[in-house]
Amino acid sequence: MADGRRWFENTKTFTARARPMDSAVAPDLWTLCDKCGTPIFNETLAQNSQVCPSCGHHFPVSGAVRLRMLCDEGSLVFHDADLVSVDALSFVDSKPYGRRVAASRSQVGTNDAFVSASGVIEGIPVEVGSFEFRFMGGSMGSVVGEMITRVFERARARSVPAVVVSASGGARMQEGVLSLMQMAKTCAAVARLKDDAHMPYISVLSHPTTGGVAASFSMLGDVIVAEPGALIGFAGPRVIKETIGQDLPVGFQTSEYLLEHGMIDRVVKRTELRALLAQLLGQLTNAAPRGAGA
């Protein structure tokens, strides 16, 4: 009897622990949270906007999925998917730039690191765009810069607001100055939207938003919101620490740190972002979001 009780207690202890999942089966059913290690049903994760229900960790999402999360169902009309980068500098590091682009296209399924569309958020027409971080770290080259510029130009032509979600490692070094000029180009497009159409631009910062993207249009929103725990800054904390030879403050360059120091307007959970955008767009354009007052 004692042996039976010991076996029962051991079994209870074993089943209470988080067990490693069969790698051949788990990806179809479960995802382990990168932060807390909790196994989550993929269906549950999708229903919760790819946010861990246990610890609130925000998983990365693709650009197209991001736009579908934000916009009314069936409202998206995608643009500029045919734009393709060229290797103007014949750049080679560990491999030719052209091969890197081709590999990313094959892996990700997009021509470059940005997805743009016309859409509607709670009944309010908008021009929207989101980075695709899986494509060369979401780096901004000539095509990405052109696509972002066109988001603002379409918004100006239609007199509607613009919303851009950033997730980028910065300017694409393989395109040299052609990449760096996109910083000025996108900033000029933001200015024209505000000056000519008097329409707002809301910038959403996700993890990570760094380099030339952080140093240009992404920090020029009329309202700037960020997801929790996102890394936001020009140079990364490791580079800064090595450069100045000093320890950095706890939480340096996170969304929460930037909010505390007045550099962004709000940290918002992904599950609450759509509702917040509808509220902000309604306030900034004097348009009533669908269901407002219901």
Looking at the domain assignment, is residue 9 inside a domain? no
Enclosing domain of residue 128? 60-285
Looking at the domain assignment, is residue 130 inside a domain? yes
C-alpha triplet 182, 187, 188: angle, nearest 5°: 100
Instruction: Grade residue 194 by pLDDT with cuts at 50, 70 and 90.
Output: very high
pLDDT at 112: 98
Looking at the domain assignment, is residue 7 inside a domain? no
Least confident of 2-11, 232-241, 277-286: 2-11
Q: What distances in angstroms separate CA 181 from CA 52, 141, 174, 254, one per listed residue? A: 38, 9, 13, 27
- Cα separation of 191 and 212, whole Å? 17
Looking at the domain assignment, is residue 238 inside a domain? yes
Instruction: Grade residue 17 by pLDDT with cuts at 50, 70 and 90.
Output: very low
User: Which CATH number does the domain housing residue 250 bear?
Assistant: 3.90.226.10
Which of the pair, 15 or 274, is modelled with greater confidence?
274
Q: How many domains does the chain have?
A: 1
**101-138: pLDDT as tens digits:** 999 999 999 999 999 999 999 999 999 999 999 999 99
> pTM for the whole thing?
0.88
pLDDT at 12: 41
Which of the pair, 82 or 1, is modelled with greater confidence?
82
